């Protein structure tokens, strides 16, 4: 039986500083295939090439990945500054309406790092351009040096709400995570529930209140070692279960129209 399809939001990437590609990290595809047990499909996030309607019809769920470019501050009513860093307006044009459509339809998505921030902006929230510049905050950015293993090593605790959805998934209210981001939530969007925080108060885990589908998003990168990490695995497993449930509900309708 065919596995349900998860659209993995890709990022623009230059090979040899010349050849433009739409790329997705292999660890994202591995997490979706090996842990969620779904078919990974990398999406070129550009409205010239795909539409939100096509994506909703083609995919059963979506992984909103991390990426170096940030959500443009104009999307939440602020002007761009040097602190906001690089932008990807094409990705903004796809992911923000995609999130809103998925919330309304109950179609599952899982937001990671930039994807976490996209979910907040899509729901009307705002972002800090640079977390480490705020009083009392730690540096959440990727360490500049070291091996890949050292860059993705577990660096701080995330405390989630007792009795909340993340507590039920993890079986505990405190988990260790990596951290590789510069921006973060300033004000939560409408219906955005902040369910987990870093020790310095930075929001790390959210979901959408009263949404009919899976809307969990995290600020860290659970795709790293997802098959073995005790925090990552339940997230991708639960996401896969939600995607299969969505696919099973819509299959009869597709057969009737086919």
Q: Is 150 a catalytic residue?
A: no
For residue 72 the two structure tokens come to: 């443009």
Q: Is 113 a catalytic residue?
A: yes
Compute the half-sphere exposure of residue 37: CA atoms within 13 Å on the CB side of its CA: 11
Contact 227, 233 (CB under 8 A): yes
Rounded CA gap, 69 and 58, in Å?
Answer: 26
Task: List beta partners, residue 87.
Answer: 70
**H/E run at residue 40:** strand 39-43
Rounded CA gap, 23 and 15, in Å?
Answer: 10
Contact 215, 208 (CB under 8 A): yes
Q: What are phi and psi of 108, to 5 degrees?
A: -75, 140
Rounded CA gap, 18 and 184, in Å?
Answer: 31
Annotated catalytic residue within 38, 72, 113, 204? 113
Q: Tell how many helices (H) and how many strands (E) occur in the chain.
A: 7, 13
Annotated catalytic residue within 72, 84, 167, 221? 221
Q: Is 30 a catalytic residue?
A: no
Residue bearing tokens 């309708």: 253
Q: What are the residue numbers of the active site?
A: 113, 221, 223
């Amino acid at each position: 039986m065919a596995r349900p399809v998860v659209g993995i939001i890709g990022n623009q990437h230059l090979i040899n500083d010349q050849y433009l590609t739409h790329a997705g990290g292999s660890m994202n595809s591995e997490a979706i295939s090996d842990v969620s047990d779904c078919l990974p499909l990398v999406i070129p996030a550009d409205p010239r090439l795909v539409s939100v309607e096509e994506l909703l019809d083609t995919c059963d769920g979506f992984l909103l990945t991390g990426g170096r470019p940030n959500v443009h501050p104009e999307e939440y009513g602020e002007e761009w500054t040097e602190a906001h860093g690089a932008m990807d307006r094409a990705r903004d044009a796809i992911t923000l309406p995609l999130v809103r459509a998925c919330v309304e339809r109950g179609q599952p998505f899982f937001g990671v790092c930039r994807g976490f921030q996209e979910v907040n902006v899509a729901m009307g929230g705002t972002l800090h351009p640079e977390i480490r510049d705020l009083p009392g905050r730690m540096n959440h950015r990727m360490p500049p040096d070291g091996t890949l293993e050292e860059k993705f090593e577990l660096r701080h605790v995330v405390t989630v709400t007792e009795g909340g959805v993340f507590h039920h998934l993890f079986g505990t209210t405190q988990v260790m995570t990596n951290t590789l981001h510069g921006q973060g939530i300033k004000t939560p969007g409408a219906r955005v529930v902040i369910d987990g925080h870093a020790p310095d108060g930075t929001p790390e885990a959210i979901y959408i209140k009263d949404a009919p589908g899976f809307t969990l998003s995290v600020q860290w990168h659970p795709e790293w070692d997802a098959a073995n990490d005790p925090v990552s695995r339940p997230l991708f497993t639960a996401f896969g279960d939600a995607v299969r449930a969505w696919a099973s509900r819509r299959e009869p309708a597709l057969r009737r129209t086919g």
